[in-house]
Structure 1
Amino acid sequence: MITSVNNSKVKEWKKLHKRKYRDKSGTFLVEGLHLVEEVLKSEWKVLEIIIRDGENFNLELKEQVTIVNKQVFHAVSQTQTPQGIAAIVERKRDHYQPSGLTLLIDSVQDPGNLGTLIRTADAAGFDHVVVGEGSVDPFNEKTIRSTQGSLFHIPVFQGNLESFVDKLKAIGVTVFASALDNATPYKQLTKPDRTALIVGNEGQGIRGELLSSADEKVYIPIYGQAESLNVAIAAAILMYHLKE
């Protein structure tokens, strides 16, 4: 059992609170029983399970299990009331192959919004999510929590969105972009079998150069006095419409 916060393993786990160390190591931290159960059921590789001393979760674990005391788990945890279980997970290195329905996310800054977008794409039956370079890290602990396990159900890629759009258009995928100006009401859209949807930053929307690369702009009418919809809510409406 690890009892010191100065243990070398504990120091490495704590580094995963920062994006640069997650990127460098190719690993990230998952916390809480539900998320640990979800990742264990998935095809993602779990490197280690961390359990607080005295806890019994009745899990059949084949992975390496490390028991730590309360103080150590508190140091590793990023939640106010930790459940006493966490996992170190290796990031998948899938190759993006455009097909079906893809959600492209441009410069979304809020971890809760990004996590909800991934979760909704999973629920709506989309095939891929692509997170642009200006967005919050999808492996941020708050983002992972907001996905409620959907991060492990749907392939999530990161990179330059313009490059992804070029690949999509090159094979005939129709690219829609959520926008307010010079846009078509979403109910008037034709719905090709292979479609990509771009959604943008909470305040600024989609960057101009990326917006101009879309085949068509689409908007959701607002009938009340609200200025706009939350990006995750708007994306949910559009994704379900495209899937139907």
Structure 2
Amino acid sequence: MDLITSQANNLIKKASSLQEKKFRENTGLFLIEGLRNVKDSIGKIDIDCILLSESASKKYVGEFENFYVVKDSVFEKISTTSNSQGVVAIAKQPEHKPHNSQYCLFLDRIRDPGNLGTILRTAVACGFDDVYCFSCVDVYNPKVVRSAMSAITKLNIIDCEEDILYDLDAYGYEILCADMDGDNIFEKNFSDKKACLIIGNEANGVSDYVREKSHVIISLPMQGIESLNAGVCASVMMYQIKYNK
């Protein structure tokens, strides 16, 4: 197999461009980086191609059937991590549609890639299969994809407007809003009724509009600290809603 040795190679330029949101939107493609992330995504979404650094191609012999080998120094141009494993895939963004799952999330302007990735991973673990994102960081941002591991291939992630809450109400969801002045979540028992958990912006919480459309306001009790980050808060609440019946 020929070695890609130039940053001017069309495949390298294509992969590099996908670090920017506008190119991801224009092409419908995104980057997946890391051995486990790429392997877990195969068969779940359409993979356009796999790129291995020259070093990785020797280290991971037999892991992939079809791939391109890239000179190590050139591979740095397409990697988004400082300690890359030398494995990158260009993948097609899946067409997500809501499945009317028992549990769903509504994310109100989550801006930190790490928080969004953590939330998505926990959503998979807790069966919150539909995730509605209003004005959030791009789910295909490389930092989100890396933090979420392969979660984005296992969820229905839908960009939406705030008024989707009307539909969720009509679909029979109990709309639970996380807010600091809400009721203690650990003092509540959750039935098997469909539930939508709302998590708000890291700095400003949920908007007044979103809060008004909620049925119940819930919070986490805290001692010695004012708040937890959105990823931690969402994770604790999802487990409580899912398993405390």
Report 1:80-159 matches (<5 A): 80-133=82-135, 135-159=136-160
**What is the identity, as a one-letter code, of the residue corresponding to 1:101?**
Y
By how many angstroms is 1:105 displaced?
A: 0.9
Distance 2:133 2:20 in 1: 18
Deviations 1:111-168 (A, max 9, x none): 11110000111112222222222x11111111111112222222222221322x1221
In the alignment, the residues of structure 2 paired with residue 139 and residue 29 of structure 1 have an alpha-carbon distance, to the nearest angstrom, of: 8
Report the Cα distance in structure 2 between the residues aligned to 1:129 and 1:58, rounded to whole angstroms.
Answer: 37
Aligned position for 2:201: 201
Aligned pair 1:58/2:57, yes or no? no
Whole-angstrom CA distance in 1 between matches of 2:198 and 2:189:
15
Contact 2:179 2:218 in 1 (8 A): yes
Q: Judge conservation of contact 2:97–2:156 (CA < 8 Å) in 1.
A: no
Tell me which amino acid in the other structure corresponds to 1:219. Answer: S
CA distance in 1, matches of 2:162, 2:69: 42
Q: Secondary structure at the match of 1:75?
A: coil
Query: 1:65 offset after TM fit, Å?
Result: 1.8
**C-alpha separation in 1, matches of 2:163 and 2:99:** 15
Q: What is the SS of the residue equivalent to 2:159?
A: strand
Cα distance in 2 for partners of 1:11, 1:114 equals: 27
- Hey, what does 2:4 align to over in structure 1? 2
Residue of structure 1 in register with 2:183 after alignment: 184
| Aligned sequence identity (%) | 29
Tell me the CA shift for residue 192 of structure 1: 4.2
CA distance in 2: counterparts of 1:185 and 1:156, whole angstroms: 28
Aligned pairs, how many? 238
Q: CA deviation at 1:230?
A: 1.6
What SS does the aligned partner of 1:79 have?
coil
Letter in 2 for 1:229: L
Match of 1:11 among 10, 13, 38: 13
Structure 1 unaligned blocks of 5 or more: none
- TM-score, normalising length from structure 2? 0.91
Offset at residue 175 of structure 1 (A): 0.8
Match of 1:213 in 2: 213
Q: CA deviation at 1:59?
A: 4.1
On the 8 A contact 1:5/1:71 being kept in 2, the answer is no
Deviations 1:17-61 (A, max 9, x none): 011111111110111111111111x42111100011242323454
Determine the C-alpha separation between the residues in 1 that align with 2:102 and 2:112. 27
The AA in structure 1 aligned to 2:174 is T
Aligned-partner Cα distance in 1 for 2:63–2:146: 23
Paired residues of 2:183 and 2:218 also in contact (CA < 8 A): yes
What stretches of structure 2 of length at least 5 have no aligned partner? none
For the 8 Å contact 2:50–2:68, the answer to whether it is kept is yes
Q: CA deviation at 1:209?
A: 0.7
Q: Which ranges of 4 or more aligned residues in structure 1 deviate by more than 6 Å?
A: none
SS of residue paired to 2:76: helix
**TM-score normalized by the length of structure 1:** 0.91
Cα RMSD (Å) of the superposition? 1.6
- The worse-fitting range, judged by mean Cα deviation, of 121-130 and 80-89 is 121-130
